[in-house]
Amino acid sequence: MARLFSPRPPPSEDLFYETYYSLSQQYPLLLLLLVIVLVGLLALLAVAWASGRELASDPGFLTTMLCGLGGFSLLLGLASREQRLQRWTRPLSGLVWAALLALGLGFLFTGGVVSAWDQVSFFLFVIFTVYAMLPLGMRDAAAAGLASSLSHLLVLGLYLGLQPDSQPALLPQLAANAVLFLCGNVAGAYHKALMERALRATFREALSSLHSRRRLDTEKKHQEHLLLSILPAYLAREMKAEIMARLQAGQGSRPESTNNFHSLYVKRHQGVSVLYADIVGFTRLASECSPKELVLMLNELFGKFDQIAKEHECMRIKILGDCYYCVSGLPLSLPDHAINCVRMGLDMCRAIRKLRAATGVDINMRVGVHSGSVLCGVIGLQKWQYDVWSHDVTLANHMEASGVPGRVHITGATLALLAGAYAVEDAAMEHGDPYLRELGEPTYLVIDPRAEEEDEKGTAGRLLSSLEGPKMRPSLLMTRYLESWGAAKPFAHLSHVESPVSTSTPLPEKALSSFSPQWSLDRSRTPRGLDDELDTGDAKFFQVIEQLNSQKQWKQSEDFNPLTLYFREKEMEKEYRLSALPAFKYYAACTFLVFFSNFIIQMLVTNRPPALTITYSITFLLFFLLLFVCFSEHLTKCVLKGPKMLHWLPTLSVLVATRPGLRVALGTATILLVFSMAITSLVFLPAASNCPFRAPNVSFTASNLSWEIPGSLPLISVPYSVHCCVLGFLSCSLFLHMSFELKLLLLLLWLAACCSLFLHSHAWLSDCLIARLYLGALDSRPGVLKEPKLMGAISFFIFFFTLLVLARQNEYYCRLDFLWKKKLRQEQEETETMENLTRLLLENVLPAHVAPQFIGQNRRNEDLYHQSYECVCVLFASVPDFKEFYSESSINHEGLECLRLLNEIIADFDELLSKPKFSGVEKIKTICSTYMAATGLNATSGQDAQQDAEQSCSHLGTMVEFAVALGSKLDVINKHSFNNFRLRVGLNHGPVVAGVIGAQKPQYDIWGNTVNVASRMESTGVLGKIQVTEETACALQSLGYTCYSRGIIKVKGKGQLCTYFLNTDLTRTGPPSATLG
C-alpha cells in the first residue's frame, strides 16, 4: 500500500500538477457532485410528494430541503465561475463539505424519531465524495472524512445516550457505524491515492512527451542541418530515405534492391560554371604552422571563401588540401552563372592580396573558370560529399593549374557568357599543360577593374601598425590577421542534443497565467527558472493541458470514441485490453476490507445465526484463496524452501496480472462475493411474515416488547443491511482499471437486486421496523429518509449515479494514461531513430571518434577541432583507366552510365570499411576516381609517441591488407563489367594534422607532408603496384612484408626520391626479411 502513496515531487512540478489537477480532473467532478446533490434533493421532494406525505406538516424537513436547494444552487453558481476556481479551490471545497455536513445533520433531526442508524448512508456518501470528488489534498480530505465520521458518532452518541431505554442497544450500533465510516474513509483514501497516482503519472508522461517532442524537433533540425551541410536540398530527401532504409536494415548495410547495382544519386545539369582556386605558396607556409594554427588558418580562409560564394550565388563543392572549387548554377539554373564565378574569383584574389599586404606573407591565389555542363551528386556509401564530374570540370581544373597567380583564368566558353561585363586579355602563354595544349583553344585573363584603386601600401601600413612589437613568424602573423575575418566555426548551427528533460523542469509562467485573462500566479509560488524557458513551448503546453482535460472525453477525438471511450484503432484497443495490471492484487485486498467490514457489521447487529456463520466461513476461505493467488509472488522465498512440487505457486500472481480474462473473472467473482454477503442475512428470512407490532392490541406502553421478530433477525439489522449494500456499491469503484461497461453491468445488477429486495420482497421488514419505532402513533408517518426502504432506495440511486460518473472518469484516465505511455514510447523510439540518423550523418562527415566533439553534452563550439598525430598511414588508390573509360555521348546518357560504374567501384570499396579487420581504416574522401584513406587516426594524442616504432606503426599492415582488398574488389568488378581496370596505389606514413574546417559544409581532412608524399606516390606509381617511400618500406619490412626497390624517381615538389614497390603476392611472412630488394 505504501507504494501507492508516491513521494512528493519538486515544488515546481507540484505547482503545475495542482493547476492541471484542479482544472482538468477535479473541476468537472466538483460540478457533477453539486448537480448530483441538487438532483437528489429534488428527487427527495418528488418522493415525499408522491408518497402522499404532507410537507407542510414537517416544517423542519421542508426548511432543510429549501436551504439545501438554495445553498447548493449558490455553490454551483460560484463553482461555474471557472476563472475564479484556481485561487479559491480550497475555500470552495470547504464550503461544499460544510454544506453537505450541515444537510446531513439537518436530515438527522427532522422527519421523525432519531435512531442510531439514521443518515449513515448519507454521511458515508459525504465521506467518500470528499476523497473522490472534491479538489482537496489527501491530508485535507482525510481531515474532512474523519470530522464527518466523528460528528455523526458524537452527535448521535450524546443525543441518544440521554434518551430513555426505548431504543435497542446503542453501543453495537455506534460500533457498526464506526466500522462503516472507517471503511468509507479507507475506500475513499484508497480511491484518491490510486487516482492521484494515475493522474500524476499521466501528467508526467504528458510533460515527458512534450519534452520528447521538443527533443525530437531539435533532432530533426540537427539532422536537417547536417544533411544540408553535406547535400543540396533537392538531393537530401532521396538520401534521407536511403539512410532510413540503412538504419532499418542495420547500420552499415544497404537495403535490398531489385537489381545488382547500388543506388546512384547523380543528375546532369547544363548551363553551369565551375571555379577552381588554389592558394600558391600555402604548402611552404603550412609546414611552419602548429596544428591549431593550420586548422584555424584553413577554416578562416575557406570560411571567407564560403562567404564570398554565398554572396555570388555559388555552391562550394569540395576542399582538396589548399584547393577550393565551387559551381554556380546548381542546384537551380542561373542565367548569370559565368559572371558569378568570375566575380567570386576576383574577390578571392582581392582577399588574398589584402592578406599578403597586411602580413607580408608570400602567398597568392590562382583561379580558373570554365562554363559548360556537369554531372553532379553523390557516389559511394560512406563519407558522402557532393561532387561534380564531366570533361568541363576537368577543363576548369586545368585552367587553374595553368593560370597566373593573382589572376582569373577563363575559357572562351566563359568569355562568351560574360557578354562584355569584364575586360579580358589573352593569356598569351605557351601552355605547359598537355591537356590545354591538346585542346588548342585560346584562354583569357580577366582584368579586375578595382585592382588599380587599391593602395596596398596604405592598407598594409594601417594594419601592420596594430601588430607592432617583436617580429612574428609569418604563420602566426597570418593567423592573427585571419582571426579578424570572423569565419563561423564548423557545425556552429548545431546546439548540443538535449539530454532527456525531467518532468520536473518548470514550464513558462505565461503558460499557466494564460489559461484565462483573470488568472495569475503569485510570484512567491513561482519556481525559479520559469522566465528562462522558451516562449515557443507555451503553445505546446496549452495543447498538452487541453488534451488532459477530462471534459474532452465527451468531445470528438482522433483517439477515442466519445460514447464508449474505445480507441478508434482496433489494434490499440486490443493492446489496451491485453495490457498487464500489477495493481490488481491491491484492488482485491481493498475489496476484502469492504467484505470484512460487512462481516463485522453483521456480527454486531444480528444474533449471528449458524447459517450466516457457516456462509461467512466458506466465503472467508474463498477470499483467502484469492488473496493467496494475488500475492503469491511475495511468498517466493518461502515456497522455494519447500517441496519442488510447490515451486509453481509464485507464478500465479503473474498470471493474474498478465491474463486479462483471468483478471476479469477474478475481479467479477470478488465483487459478486461482496454483493452476496451484503444481503446474506436477509436471504435466510421469509419473503413475507406477520409483523407483531402491527397488531391492534399493541399499545405504546408495551415498551418491553422485543426488537426481534420471532424466528428472525433483530429489526435493527434491516437498515444496516441497507448500509452493507451501499458498501457493496463502493466495492465496484475499487477496481479502477475494470472496464466501464463491466462496472455498469455490475452496478445495474446490484441496483436492481437491492431495490427488488428492499422495495418488494422484504419491504415488510422496513414496515415492521417503522411500526416498532412508532408504536401507538398510527396516524403519524416518518419522513422519507427515516423509512429504511425509501432511504435505501434513494441511497442506492445516488451511489449508483455517483459511482457511474467516477467509473467513466476512471476509464477515461486509464485509457489516457495508456495512450500517453504509448505516444511517449513511440516518440522516444522516433527520437532514438533521429539520434541514430544524426549520428550516422555526422559520422558520414566525420570519423566516429571525432563526431562526439561536435554533438552531445560535451560539445564545444568555441574551439576548432584539430589533432596532430605522429604516425598515420595515408593511402591514395586510383583507377587511372577510368579517365579513358569516361566518355560523354547519347549512348551512355552523357557520361551517366560511366559514373554508375564508378559508383559501383567506390561503393564496393566502402563496403570493405564495415569489415571488423578494417575498422581502423578511415575514409577521407574521393577525388574523381581516386580513393583516399588513412589508418592511425583513432589513436589518442601523444599515444604514438609513447610507443616504440613497431607498436606505433602496426596499423600499416592493416592499410596494406586494405589496399590488397581494394585490388580484389576491382578484379570482381572487372569480371562482371567486362573491363580491365587496374589499381594504382601510393602509401606513406608519418606525422599529419587532422581537423574540421568550413562552416557552410564542414569537412574533415588531414594535412601535412605525409599526405602530399602519399599523393605523389600514387600519381607517380605504376598500375597494379603499391608504391611506398623508403621509410614506409622499412616499417613494412619490420611487420613481415617484402618490398623491392623501384629506384630513384622525380617527385614534384620533393625532388629525387628512392621509392619501393610492395610485393603484394605475399602476405606477412613472419620473420622480417634482411633486405628490401
* Residues annotated as catalytic (active site), given as ranges: 1016, 1052
Q: Is residue 776 a contact partner of residue 705, using CB atoms and an 8 Å limit?
A: no
- Within 13 Å and on the Cβ side, how many CA atoms surround 399? 33
**DSSP codes, 486-543:** -PPPTTTTPPPPPPPPPTTSPPPHHHHHTTSTT----GGGSPTTGGGS-THHHHHHHH
Residue 315 burial by CB count (10 A; 0-12/13-18/19+): exposed, middle or buried? Answer: buried
Q: Is residue 910 a contact partner of residue 254, using CB atoms and an 8 Å limit?
A: no
Q: What is the length of the chain?
A: 1077
Q: Is residue 894 a contact partner of residue 974, using CB atoms and an 8 Å limit?
A: no
Rounded Cα distance, 142 and 130, in Å:
8
Locate all alpha helices (DSSP H) within 231-325, ordered by sequence.
233-249, 282-286, 291-311
Give the DSSP H/E element, type plus range, for residue 315.
strand 314-320
Query: From its phi and psi, is residue 783 left (phi > 0), alpha (psi between -120 and 50) or beta?
Result: beta
Residue 736, phi then psi, degrees to nearest 5: -60, -40
Q: Is residue 295 a contact partner of residue 1005, using CB atoms and an 8 Å limit?
A: no
Task: Please list the residues that pair with 952 across neighbouring strands.
Answer: none
Q: Is residue 1005 a contact partner of residue 995, using CB atoms and an 8 Å limit?
A: yes
Locate all alpha helices (DSSP H) within 686-787, ordered by sequence.
717-733, 740-756, 763-773
* Cβ-Cβ contacts under 8 Å for 595 (sequence gap 6 or more): 619, 623, 673, 674, 677, 731
Q: Give the 3-state secondary structure of residue 979.
A: coil
Give the DSSP H/E element, type plus range, for residue 393.
helix 391-401
Rounded Cα distance, 589 and 583, in Å:
10
Rounded Cα distance, 288 and 292, in Å:
12
Q: Specify the residue for cell string 542565367.
A: 335
Q: Is residue 615 a contact partner of residue 693, using CB atoms and an 8 Å limit?
A: no
Rounded Cα distance, 1049 and 1021, in Å:
10
CB neighbours of residue 122 within 10 Å: 24
DSSP state of 472: P
How far, CA to CA in Å, does 1051 sit from each of 6, 50, 1019, 1025? 76, 117, 9, 17
Residue 752 burial by CB count (10 A; 0-12/13-18/19+): exposed, middle or buried? Answer: exposed
Of 820, 898, 928, the C-alpha closest to 387 is: 928
Grid cell, residue 365, equals 591565389
* Cβ-Cβ contacts under 8 Å for 438 (sequence gap 6 or more): none
Residue 941 burial by CB count (10 A; 0-12/13-18/19+): exposed, middle or buried? Answer: exposed
Rounded Cα distance, 846 and 996, in Å:
8
Grid cell, residue 435, equals 591537356
DSSP state of 869: E
Rounded Cα distance, 982 and 971, in Å:
8
CB neighbours of residue 703 within 10 Å: 10
Of 1061, 1057, 885, the C-alpha closest to 977 is: 885
Of 792, 815, 637, the C-alpha closest to 724 is: 792
Q: Specify the residue for cell string 472534491.
A: 134
